[in-house]
Structure 1
C-alpha cells in the first residue's frame, strides 16, 4: 500500500493550495523535509495578527522574537499585517526586549513587500526606521496618529510606494502628505484615508495632491465630512488612465452627486471603473440623488458595487428602485453586490440573483422572518461563492447554524463561505454515495479558516 510520505514532490504545492490555516501549515512543516520546504515558505509569506486572535499580544512578542533570532525565516515574509500590539508591558526590560526584537526582526525581513500596522499608539520610530531599509517594500497601511510616537516627516522617506493607507491621520501627518505624495506620486496606484470624522481632510487637500496622482487606480475615502464632489472631481480630472476603484464613504452631506456626474460625463465618463463603494445618508438621499449616482456609473463596467447606509432606517421602496436601476445597467458583469444597513426586498434580491450571471459574492440585510425564504433565492446564483446575511428584527426561533445549513443545502456547490450576522462558516462538501444516482455531495459547515478577512468586516463604516 502506498504511503502518504511517498507523495511525489511536485504534488505537494497542489496539496498546500487547499491549506489556509497557519496552525495547519505549521503541523505540515513537521511531516518531513520535503513538506517543510514548501510549507514553511507559505507559513511565513503572509504573517497576520488580529485583535480577536487568542493571546494576540503574546503572539506579537513571539513572532518578532522568532524573526529576530532566525533571519532565514524573516526573509520569507512578504506581507506583514499587525493589527494588535502590546503597549503596556510588566517591566521596562520587557519593553526594551520587544523593541529590539521588532527592530531586528523587521531588519531581517529583507524581502518584505507589504506592511500593515494599525493599532493606535503602537507605530513608533523603531518600527519605521527598519521598514525604510526594506528595498522591496511597496505597500504601507499605518495608523496616522503620530503624536509622541514618530516624526511624521520620516514618512516622506518611503518614496517607492504603490499603495498608501492612513488610518486616523493626525493634522501633522496630513500636513506632510502633499510632500510625500509629490515624492512618490508617479508610482502610487492606491490611496486610502480612513477617519472617524476628520475635519482635516478637505477638498483643498485633495486639490493639492491630485496633480501628483495622475496614475492613481484606487481611491478610498471614509469619514471625511469636509470632502465634497469638488475634491473627488479634482482627483478624477487629473487622472490619466482612469480610476479602477472608487470608495466615497462618510463624506459631506452636501456632496453634489449630480454635479460630479455632469463633470464626469463631459470628460467621457468613468470608463475604467470596476469597483464602486459609497455611503448613503437616508436623511439627504432623494430619487434624483440616486438617479445621479446611476448616471455617474453609466459608462463604467462595474464588477463590484457596495452601498453602506449611515442608519438602518431608510425608504425601502427607494432602495429597491436604486438596486434595480444598478442591476439593469451593470448586472451582466457584476461579481459582488453588497447592501449594508440598507434593507431591500426579497424581490430585489431575487432580481440580483437572476440578472447577475457572474455573481460570486452577495451581502444583504433582510428581516429575520425572511431568512427561511432566502435560500431558494440565493440558489438562483449559480456561481455564488460567498454570501453574508445581516438580520433586522428578532426571530421567533433562531438557530443560526441550522439556518445557515438550510441555505447551504439549497445554494450552488460553488458556495465556500456563508455568514449570518456575526457568525461566518466555511462551506465544505462531503462525498456521499447514493444507491440510485451514484455519487453526490452534501455541504458541511466548518470554522472559517482563511487568514484574509473580508474588507466588509475590517472597518466600521462611516
Structure 2
C-alpha cells in the first residue's frame, strides 16, 4: 500500500499550503529536515505581535533577540511581513540577557545590549522584508527607520505611528523611503504632516499605489494639504482618509482630479460635516473619477439630510443618470442640491465589489431612504458585489433578503438587525442568508440595552475572539485594532453570559435570547446550520467563530455526512467586522 512517504517531494509545498493556520507549522517543522526546509519559510513569513497576545511586550524583545543571532540568519531571510503593534514603552535603553552556553557564545548577542542596536541588528538580518508595521507610539526611532532603508531593500509597505515628536524619530528620515507602494500613517503629527509633500513628492514616480491617513479629529490633514499632495498621487489606486474634520469635498476632488487611471479603492470616513455630497457627485459624474472603483467606504453623519445624501451616492454609483423627475429614489421633498443629472452623459457603473457604510456616532433607524438606497445599490451592482458591510444603520429584513437573493457573488455580509424582529436571527438565516450561495463570512450586530450599547458605538475588539464590556478605551497609537490590556478579555466572557441569566426575552422560533449581548455557541451553531455550506466564519456582536467541517462516517468507514462545528477564531488577521474605524 502506498504511504505518505512515497509521494514525490515536489508535492510537499502544495500539501503544506493547505495548513489553515501558519502557527501550525511549528509542528510540521519538527517532522524532519525536509519538512523544515519547506514549512520554515511559511512559519516565519509573517511575524505579528498584537497587544492582546500574552506577554506581548516580552515577546517582542525575544523576537528581536532571536532575529539578531547569527544562528537564526535563515529565519531572518524568511521574514516577509513584520507587524509590531505592541512594545514596552518603559523599557530601559539596555537589556541584560542570560549568558549563552560556551558552545554557542560566538553566535549569541552579548549579555547586555542596547535595545536600538538589538533591533537594527535584527532588521539587518531580514533582507527580504516587504511589509513593516510599527504602530506603538514612542517605540519607533530614527535608527530603526534608517535600518529599514539600509538593509530592507525590498520593502514595499510601511505602516507607522505618525507621532514623530517628543524624542521619537526625526520626520525628515521618512524622505529616504522612495520605493514604497503602500503607506499607512496613524495619527500623523505636525512633523510628519509637514513632511508629507516632500516625502511623497520624492518617491519614484508612479510607485505609490496605496495611501491611508488615519487621524482622530486632527486639524493637520486639511483640504490645502491634500491639494498640495495631489500632483504626486497621479498613480494612486487606493486612497483612504479617516478622522479629518478639516477635509471636505474640495480636498478629495483635488486628489481624484489629478489621478490618471481612476481610483480603485476609496475610503472617506469621519470627514467634515460640511462635506458637500452634491458637489462631489457632480464632479464624479462629470469627470468619471470613480469609473474603476471596486471598494468604497463611507460614513454618514446625522447632521446630513439622509435622503439627499443617499440620492447623491446612488447617482454616483448608478449606471444611467436619470433626470430629477425620473429618479425612483427622489422624493417630492428632496432639496434642490440633488437636482437634475440629465446634463451628464450616461456612464457605465463602476465594477463595485465591496461597499462599506457606517455612522460614526449613533444608530440610524430603519427608513425609506436607506431601504431605497440599498435596493438601488444591489440593482446596479448585483453582478459584482462580493462584500457589503453596514454598521450602526438598521435595515429591514426585506432589504437583507434582497441583498442575499440578488447579489450572486456575495461572499461577506455585515449587517445590523433590529432586536425585536419576529423570529430574530433564525429568521435572518433561513429567510436571507440561506439564499446567498457563495457566502463565506457573516457578522450580525443588533442594538443592546444601554449598559452594552456603548460597546457597539465606541469600541472594537482587541481580542478577535471576544470583546468585553471594558473595551471602550482606545489607544492613541493605534487606529482600529488594539489597546494596552488585551489579556483580560477572556475573563469577561463568563461575566457577560452570567449576568444576563434568564432575564432576557426569548426570540421566537429557536428560543434565542436576543437581549443577550453575547450569542451562546449552541445558538450560533443553530443559525449556522441554516446558512449555506460555503460559510467559513460567523460572528454576532462581540463574538466571532470559525466554522469547521468534520466528516461523519458509519461503522464501515463510509462518509455519510458532513458536520459543522464552531471553533475558536485563530487567524492572524482581525475579523473585518472589528476593523471599523469609529471616530
TM-score by length of 1: 0.95
- For the residue of structure 1 that corresponds to 2:262, the secondary structure is coil
Residue of 158, 162, 165 corresponding to 1:144: 162
Structure 1 residues 109 and 438, CA gap change in structure 2 (3 angstroms): closer
CA distance in 2: counterparts of 1:446 and 1:204, whole angstroms: 49
Q: Which shows bigger deviation, 170-179 or 120-129? A: 120-129
- Cα distance, 1:22 vs structure 2: 4.0
User: Which residue number corresponds to residue 237 of structure 1?
Assistant: 257
1:428 aligns with 2:448: no
- Cα distance, 1:130 vs structure 2: 0.7
CA distance in 2: counterparts of 1:453 and 1:421, whole angstroms: 14
User: Which residue number corresponds to residue 538 of structure 2?
Assistant: 418
1:38 aligns with 2:38: yes
User: Which residue number corresponds to residue 80 of structure 1?
Assistant: 82
For 1:24-423, list aligned pairs within 5 A: 24-69=24-69, 70-89=72-91, 92-94=94-96, 96-133=113-150, 134-147=152-165, 148-184=167-203, 185-298=205-318, 299-317=349-367, 318-369=369-420, 370-376=424-430, 377-393=432-448, 396=505, 397=513, 398=516, 399-423=519-543
Larger % of strand: which? 1
Q: Report which of the two structures shows the higher radius of gyration computed on alpha carbons.
A: 2
CA distance in 1: counterparts of 2:314 and 2:261, whole angstroms: 22
CA distance in 1: counterparts of 2:256 and 2:289, whole angstroms: 10
CA distance in 1: counterparts of 2:42 and 2:260, whole angstroms: 37
- Cα distance, 1:345 vs structure 2: 1.3
* Count, aligned residues: 461
* Bigger relative CO (Cα 8 Å, ≥ 6 apart): 2
CA distance in 2: counterparts of 1:458 and 1:315, whole angstroms: 22
CA distance in 2: counterparts of 1:368 and 1:99, whole angstroms: 52
- Kindly indicate whether the alpha-carbon contact (under 8 Å) linking 1:312 and 1:343 is maintained by their aligned counterparts in 2: no
- Cα distance, 1:434 vs structure 2: 7.3
- Kindly indicate whether the alpha-carbon contact (under 8 Å) linking 1:375 and 1:408 is maintained by their aligned counterparts in 2: yes
- Kindly indicate whether the alpha-carbon contact (under 8 Å) linking 1:81 and 1:115 is maintained by their aligned counterparts in 2: yes
CA distance in 2: counterparts of 1:460 and 1:268, whole angstroms: 28
Structure 1 residues 64 and 164, CA gap change in structure 2 (3 angstroms): same
- Cα distance, 1:433 vs structure 2: 4.2
TM-score by length of 2: 0.76
* CA deviations over 1:68-106 (Å, ceiling 9, x no partner): 112211011111111111112368435954332211111
Structure 1 residues 198 and 455, CA gap change in structure 2 (3 angstroms): farther
CA distance in 2: counterparts of 1:374 and 1:98, whole angstroms: 53
- Cα distance, 1:135 vs structure 2: 0.8
In the alignment, structure 1 segments of 5+ residues that lack a partner are none
CA distance in 2: counterparts of 1:275 and 1:22, whole angstroms: 28
- Cα distance, 1:360 vs structure 2: 0.3
In the alignment, structure 2 segments of 5+ residues that lack a partner are 97-111, 319-348, 450-503, 506-512
- Cα distance, 1:128 vs structure 2: 0.7
User: Which residue number corresponds to residue 109 of structure 2?
Assistant: none
CA distance in 1: counterparts of 2:20 and 2:160, whole angstroms: 25
Aligned-CA RMSD value: 2.0
- Kindly indicate whether the alpha-carbon contact (under 8 Å) linking 1:269 and 1:300 is maintained by their aligned counterparts in 2: no
